[in-house]
Copies of this chain bind each other. A is one copy, B any other.
């Protein structure tokens, strides 16, 4: 019997605990160590592990776990601000890293991610679960089959009413609050830019060339705070949040596609990733959840009618990605409708098999850089900012892949 892959989970907030539980349900993986700055979280995680008849080491300092004789892979699920520091250390120690999503604080941080990975040769993967979403996968599948024709415009967003989570950040020990007080950027671009970059073959024959971002005023959090009356909200009464409520970013691609992404987390709204793909033969948009494929008949009808709200449910079954079909029971095995399970399996199987990382360090550096670049553009009044090439020209030669992490 093959030895189980030994993982350490660093960061035991809501996200870390969720991923830890997903790992605990896998037969070929074990959690040998957990770590968090807060001891109560460590104890809670250890208790959960022992309940499943396992045992693990608990630490409040991740540096004590940087020994590759004991750990085969590290899952980093801390606050955004600690991701890269831990990833650097793990890669230097030769321990493969699966890192949760987040934006970068500087372009240099992204370049260093690439440098450390190239120098050490240690695998690094960004655990962007939305690359494995049912709709994102179905659209990728349709793009690869040419059903949308030539892809021309892609959109997405992180449109999630987080006012409660942000404003009660101190109560919940959640790191978002500080981000909204101190920065103005698209602070969370990867949920939408990940799937977009994959279907546009970014860093594999295509690349992001430039970016410009525009931020709205900050009004949503202030009003939210003013409506309540408790110790946490009262403390925020006079805070001027630096983060604009809505941040738009337009990205130019080397192959001529336009990308529009939005951060929209401080206003009342239903959740949406606003995922939209438009090509010369068809389109999909998450707002309205409809597909629309070209045909003479459809065209004639479309002038007046044509929108078929929520037909996505039907299309997404018809054009389900092979990965999704293969692991259709995945939704029973993890959070967010199966995505979390798929992204974890992609990482674990690539580490175990010594395969290339499905979402590699060039992907991660490119996606995370949007946060730093959008901050720069906003600071300059929405000016055009050049997008660095983290592959140093290798994007021209790197080949597109059908998809990532599963041999299909």
A260 contacts B278, C-beta separation under 8 Å: no
Contact A299 B250, CB 8 Å, known A257-B216, A267-B278, A306-B270: no
| Chain B residues within 8 Å of A234, by CB | none
Looking across the interface, which residue of chain B has its beta carbon closest to that of A282? B268
Q: Please determine whether A246 and B214 come into contact, CB atoms closer than 8 angstroms.
A: no
Q: For A152, what are the chain B residues with a Cβ–Cβ distance below 8 Å?
A: 216-217, 219-220, 245-246, 267
Q: Min CB distance, A383 to chain B, in Å?
A: 5
Q: A256 — which chain B residues lie within 8 A by C-beta?
A: 216-217, 219
- Chain A 134-166 residues near chain B, CB threshold 8 A: 149-150, 152-153, 160-161, 163-164
* B212 and A270 form a contact (CB under 8 A): no
- Smallest CB gap from A221: residue in B: B280
Q: Which residues of B contact A268 (CB under 8 A)?
A: 280-283, 292-294, 298-299, 302
Q: Which residues of A from 236 to 283 have beta carbons under 8 Å from B?
A: 244-246, 248, 250-252, 255-258, 260, 264, 267-272, 278-283
Within 8 Å by CB of A383, from B272, B287, B290, B383, lies B383
A21 at interface by CB-CB < 8 Å: no
Chain B residues within 8 Å of A356, by CB: none
Bin chain A's interface residue count.
35 or more
Which residues of chain B come closer than 8 Å to A307, judged between CB atoms? 270-272
Q: How far is the CB of A211 from chain B (nearest CB, A)?
A: 9
Interface residues of A in 173-228 (CB under 8 A from B): 210, 212, 214-217, 219-220, 223-224
Cross-chain contact A384 with B212 (CB below 8 angstroms): yes
For A150, what are the chain B residues with a Cβ–Cβ distance below 8 Å?
A: 219, 223
Cβ-defined partner of A246 (8 Å) among B245, B278, B289, B303: B278
Query: Which of B269, B283, B306, B380 is within 8 Å of A278, CB to CB?
Result: B269
- Cross-chain contact A303 with B216 (CB below 8 angstroms): no
8 contacts between A and B (CB under 8 A): A152-B217, A268-B294, A268-B299, A270-B292, A270-B307, A272-B307, A380-B384, A383-B384
Q: Which 5 A-B pairs have the closest CB atoms?
A: A217-B256, A270-B306, A268-B294, A288-B288, A287-B287
Given A252-B381, A268-B298, A270-B290, 11 extra CB contacts under 8 A: A149-B219, A149-B223, A152-B220, A210-B382, A212-B382, A216-B257, A219-B256, A250-B250, A285-B287, A289-B309, A380-B384
